[in-house]
Structure 1
């Protein structure tokens, strides 16, 4: 019989109902009709003959087969909790059983190992940094194209020591530009008061003379702008795909961050507003620090934790939206009978409910009636629960993935230490 891992020890002359199954040295006796209850499975195909064998031997996992045989008998597939889910899936595939038939009570245990394996494949802790660096260096040496080398130099901080230095210099200029603009907004330096003019809907002419501090900050701004333009131009020229480069969100932010200087010398309201918006883009560039820290253990695990928890966390905004509608409507009708009510419409009730549920509590809109205060009490309690809800999800996932990665990347070192401690052996 041509089946992997199975051999027929004895064939019966008739169609005997009893069949002996020897799996890994453990014998099981069952009926032919029991094995025929799952058409398409391996055992059903083996006994679906005119002369089925009276005994079959399989060199497979005996503990898993006990659950497989119970699935033939009861129609419910359960999994042992002490075995790896990947091993179970491999055994189920051999016996021709679909893993989708696993019972809900055992599904989490069955899937946990596969999800953990996926997490370990995507998380790259600091322990793997040296291996990746050496691999990238080999790739860089094998590639003679200047374009690939320059792209790695400016966009892949861990490709070389020079790339790491350039990434740190870029972050330094980003911080320097933000600090310079923040100091420029001081009243003692910003004598022409452009920001105040924008706030008051008026225009002010740019003065002919500037304080020394303002000239120094303008010089710093020019130097930072030159570096940003140089860096963006180099990355745009050397990138492998121009379309992907300009479609990337962070690259769009980098492009917008190049323009604050062009609006610096204008005093109209639109220019001042554009100046503030573009400097916000420059602050967003600080997210580059995550690219520089992508191989740091904690950052790598936290990044994957947030991605893995995203599906569960999506329910929080939905609940917040529903509770805002409910409590906003309740507070409006609860305060409707009071003459000095702060809630002139349901929209103002929505604003109050949102501020209360998020535990911000501005206090600009407050209930004054007894029933309104009862609604506020309930709204505040629900808000606390909504804020606390995401915390255990993130913490539990972070601890789980952190423990997995630490265990995985400590095991090779443990084996290496054992071999070193053991030392060479000699025979007499």
Structure 2
């Protein structure tokens, strides 16, 4: 009974009169005093309490604690007593218990300070703790990346020590904060409008009736040039007004903006070289071949214009949340692509092995069967290639069933993460809108108060000068004040 009482927390008054003081460690953690027998502490000599019990040098003991009370031989630690209660029970029972209400990061920090390892917990408790820790780490990672993307929007103080700081701040707010003013909102609408116009012009240029004028130029070339000029001006204004060039270059949205305008200028440069080679070496066969390769590069450059649609992500919360979801779930997406690739290789080889001897078959080789396996796993099934043997049809049924199961696996994970990220982005956007409206309302209230003060001063002047005619329609507040 005395041994059990020595292990329980007691008040400082009992510590001073404890008859077993020379056999126990008096430990004060955050104001709560614990009595721990030496025989229990020395069982774990690598822990902080174990070293406190095994060291004979008093100076080394003082290095382990925050303070020492000579009168009661008490070692003081300025730590959380709630967590140390689990540490104290660990020395008594040999098992480290974990409370559900404790923060995983705080708990790991505390047990690291006391030198106790997480392996001393029961397996069931450790699995639950690691799940909560992984969930918390994922939330903190998402929060850090969201804050990193929105850091430039929030940190206006960086403009104070910059050249032309006030002007650059106005330009930055105009380009990056659409809710800061009506002009900034119109700028965002104009940017989205030009993106849509450029996409429509690019699409119509592929129509044969609208491709060429009598002069040989595209109908939509002027429209596309105007859109590129606007995108270039937009990018240069952002680049000139950014408070942090490194973050600006690393931003995904700014990279998308650069990709949207870069193909146009590369295309112009290649066309200049192509026209020069044709003009100077019109009969040279090598030059003709080189011009043909340049034409292929130009087609690729024209294809890259489709990336302009990604510029809408700057003004669309849903697109930003979708891109953020893909970046965060790259492991799940990678596993999905790996399973799809495995299924394509496996089922294409199986179907080819039973179909290649069939007369006039389309499964002439395994690479030819890849297309069939891909459309079957995706459950599209164009029908351009179908197995004819019974065993081949059985393999096709297995391929389709595998695709149905595979396509349903990542939906719940991606949807839950997308909903979470979308809600976080919308909450930040709502906070910015509320803050901007608060500033506008404050300005309006201040202007209204100034107008009321001016009106009262004018009415006071009329009262002091009775010779001047009174206003025809005095305000109700003036009548009440006069009465």
TM-score of the two chains, using structure 2 as the length reference = 0.62
Distance in 2 (CA, whole Å) between partners of 1:49 and 1:11 is 25
Residue in 2 that maps onto 1:180: 201
Distance in 2 (CA, whole Å) between partners of 1:382 and 1:364 is 20
Say if 2:223 is the partner of 1:220.
yes
Residue in 2 that maps onto 1:258: 265
Contact 1:10–1:55, Cα closer than 8 Å, also in 2: no
65-74 or 34-43, which moves further after superposition?
Answer: 65-74
Distance in 1 (CA, whole Å) between partners of 2:245 and 2:21 is 68
Q: How does 1:127-166 map to 2 (within 5 A)?
A: 135-136=155-156, 138-145=157-164, 152=172, 156-157=176-177, 161=181, 165-166=186-187
User: What is the CA distance between 1:145 and its match in structure 2?
Assistant: 3.6
Say if 2:107 is the partner of 1:88.
yes
User: What is the CA distance between 1:328 and its match in structure 2?
Assistant: 1.2
Structure 2 residue ranges without an equivalent (≥5): 1-11, 62-71, 279-290, 435-483
Contact 1:133–1:160, Cα closer than 8 Å, also in 2: no
Residue in 1 that maps onto 2:66: none
Change (3 A) 1:120 1:24: same
Distance in 2 (CA, whole Å) between partners of 1:57 and 1:124 is 39
Contact 2:178–2:187, Cα closer than 8 Å, also in 1: no
Contact 2:192–2:315, Cα closer than 8 Å, also in 1: no
Contact 2:313–2:320, Cα closer than 8 Å, also in 1: no
Aligned pair count? 382
Distance in 1 (CA, whole Å) between partners of 2:80 and 2:429 is 28
Give the alignment partner of residue 45 of structure 1, picking from 17, 33, 51: 51
Q: Deviations over 1:278-314 (max 9, x none)?
A: 3432221221222334xx4x56654443332222221
Say if 2:409 is the partner of 1:386.
no
Change (3 A) 1:226 1:133: closer
Larger relative contact order, structure 1 or 2 (CA cutoff 8 Å, min sep 6): 1
Q: Deviations over 1:96-138 (max 9, x none)?
A: 335687633421123433432333343359xx98x975742x4
Contact 1:17–1:32, Cα closer than 8 Å, also in 2: yes
Contact 1:88–1:110, Cα closer than 8 Å, also in 2: no
Choose between structure 1 and 2: higher helix proportion: 2
Change (3 A) 1:69 1:406: farther
Residue in 1 that maps onto 2:444: none
27-36 or 370-379, which moves further after superposition?
Answer: 27-36
Say if 2:143 is the partner of 1:120.
yes
User: What is the CA distance between 1:374 and its match in structure 2?
Assistant: 0.6
User: What is the CA distance between 1:396 and its match in structure 2?
Assistant: 2.8
Say if 2:305 is the partner of 1:285.
no
The alignment partner of 1:342 has SS state of: coil
Residue in 1 that maps onto 2:389: 369
From the CA coordinates, give the structure whose radius of gyration is larger.
Answer: 2
Residue in 2 that maps onto 1:310: 330
The alignment partner of 2:304 has SS state of: helix
Give the alignment partner of residue 34 of structure 1, picking from 35, 40, 45: 40
401-410 or 339-348, which moves further after superposition?
Answer: 401-410
Distance in 1 (CA, whole Å) between partners of 2:330 and 2:130 is 21
User: What is the CA distance between 1:372 and its match in structure 2?
Assistant: 0.4
Change (3 A) 1:171 1:341: same
Contact 2:175–2:187, Cα closer than 8 Å, also in 1: no
Distance in 1 (CA, whole Å) between partners of 2:312 and 2:188 is 9
RMSD: 4.9
69-78 or 304-313, which moves further after superposition?
Answer: 69-78
399-408 or 250-259, which moves further after superposition?
Answer: 399-408
Change (3 A) 1:154 1:332: farther
The alignment partner of 2:380 has SS state of: coil
Distance in 1 (CA, whole Å) between partners of 2:32 and 2:427 is 34
Contact 1:253–1:285, Cα closer than 8 Å, also in 2: yes
Q: Deviations over 1:205-226 (max 9, x none)?
A: x85588xxx65x3432343344
Contact 1:18–1:54, Cα closer than 8 Å, also in 2: no
Contact 1:174–1:283, Cα closer than 8 Å, also in 2: no
TM-score of the two chains, using structure 1 as the length reference = 0.68
